[in-house]
Amino acid sequence: MEVSDKTARQMFAELRADPARKRFGFGRKAMLVNVDPQNAYTSVDEFVTAYATDPRQMDYVNALAEAARAKALPVMWTYVAYRPDGVDCGVFGIRDDTPDGLKNIKRGSRRASFDERLSIDVERDYIVNKLMPSAFHETCLQSLLVWHGCDTVIVAGGSTSGCVRATVVDGVSRGYRMIVPEECVADLHESPHFANLYDMHKKYADVLPVSEVLAFYATLP
């Protein structure tokens, strides 16, 4: 089979199966960042059903958050929401001016709220309203990573080709080891999902089975 005939899923599977490919690896201390797991993107009655590697995505995200808290490691949840007139969306919202568009995710709305299946500890976890794709863009994420002494960022959420990828690229650009648990991210369609898993694993992150990430937490004191 020629490379041009392979699907993105096949290319990603082959890349990750290569035993000679060096990993970034886990560092000394990790922060879990769950990017926009909110009703606007995860609820089938609100939006197009997202493609995830595993339908138990939310269960795995909960498991990662629980594992992080058990080791006294930081957990962040981001969500996208804008003021009533949507002007703080800026140029990001120009192309999608429909009722379901980005800038029409209003603060305090159901679409801005986290998926009800998630277990969020509002007393211990960090909850951040972000306005742009990357969780690093003009948020407190960078300063929290410095404060907690983290050198590794584990990224879950969606979309794989959008806000997850943007966060991963920003993170590795800042010198962090970026980890993406495959079953914990989703996109609108299968093709961009696996194409971006392939691209991130090739250049910017370690895209790992969630079992390996949970095993990492289990090894920590």
Write down all domains in the chain, each with its CATH number in brackets. 27-219 (3.40.50.850)
Using alpha carbons, select from 193, 113, 210 the residue that is nearest to residue 155: 210
Burial class (CB in 10 A: 0-12, 13-18, 19+), 97: exposed
Catalytic residue annotation = 163
pLDDT tens, per residue, the chain with 221 residues: 445 679 999 999 999 999 999 999 999 999 999 999 999 988 755 444 568 889 999 999 999 999 999 999 999 999 999 999 989 999 988 887 777 788 889 999 999 999 999 999 999 999 999 999 999 999 999 999 999 999 999 999 999 999 999 999 999 999 999 999 999 999 989 999 999 999 999 999 999 999 999 999 999 99
- Separation of alpha carbons 165 and 169, rounded Å: 6
Neighbours of 98 (CB within 10 A): 9
Neighbours of 211 (CB within 10 A): 13
**Around Cβ 200, how many Cβ atoms within 10 Å?**
24
Query: Could you count the other beta carbons within 10 Å of the beta carbon of residue 193?
Result: 26
Q: What is the pLDDT of residue 150?
A: 98
Report the amino acid identity of residue 82.
Y
